[in-house]
Amino acid sequence: KTDETTLYLYDEIGYFGVEAEPFIKDLNAQTAKTIHLRINSPGGDVFDGAAMYNAARQHKSKIITHIDGLAASYASVIAMAGDEVRMAKNAFFMVHNPWSIAIGDADDMRETANLLDKMQTTIAEMYADKTGKEIDEIKEIMAKETWYTAKEALEEGFVDKIEDLDEKTEAKAKILFDLSIFSNVPDALVEHQEPLTERGLEKILRDAG
């Protein structure tokens, strides 16, 4: 439609998934009055994610973000870029502190720790802008690796509306990501994940070309 268009962020953010440059190029090519950005992502690279967030915030069109399956880590930050944030009733939303890997001496480690502190504050400010919560409260939530259902995310001010998905979108939004790197994955989400079979892996590789 000329007045609406839809973009999908259905992968990790960064090198192993959707990188900032092609995402921003696709986003900026859209001239529709309303852009629906549909998200199903475990997060990923902070710098790629920040570039995506800023591009969405600066776009002239109205941006509606839809959390179709999972918005974890920096994917939850990108969801905040929408002028309106919607979440499927069976989706999940997660916030946590940024991570990194460092190699080197004590000075290198301190430099990495200082960078992570700055990242945490910047991310907390974006959540606070959306929810109206105090920065310190947001930092406590992030430090605990907090997972939200749609109802909880709505109550806490992270999303504006809970929505039902049509069958086609719900089928696309299955959560097939490896979430073992996270500490507090809800039991309901673990149970929701279907074991990846050899045939299932073949399908994923085929669909990816």
Give 142-193 as a DSSP string. Answer: HHTTEEEEHHHHHHTTS-SEEEPPPHHHHHHT---S--TTSS---HHHHHHS
Verify whether residue 192 is a known catalytic residue.
no
Which of the residues 36, 41, 76, 96 is marked catalytic? Answer: 96
Which of the residues 73, 100, 180, 183 is marked catalytic? Answer: 73
Verify whether residue 96 is a known catalytic residue.
yes
Q: Which ranges constitute the DSSP H helices of 13-59?
A: 20-28, 46-58
Neighbours of 133 (CB within 10 A): 17
Q: Is the dihedral of CA 92, 40, 27, 146 positive or negative?
A: positive
Q: Is 95 helix (H, G, I), strand (E, B) or coil?
A: strand
Burial of 109-118, coded b for 16+ CB within 10 Å and e otherwise, reads eeeeeeebee
Neighbours of 120 (CB within 10 A): 18
Supply the residues annotated as catalytic.
Answer: 73, 96
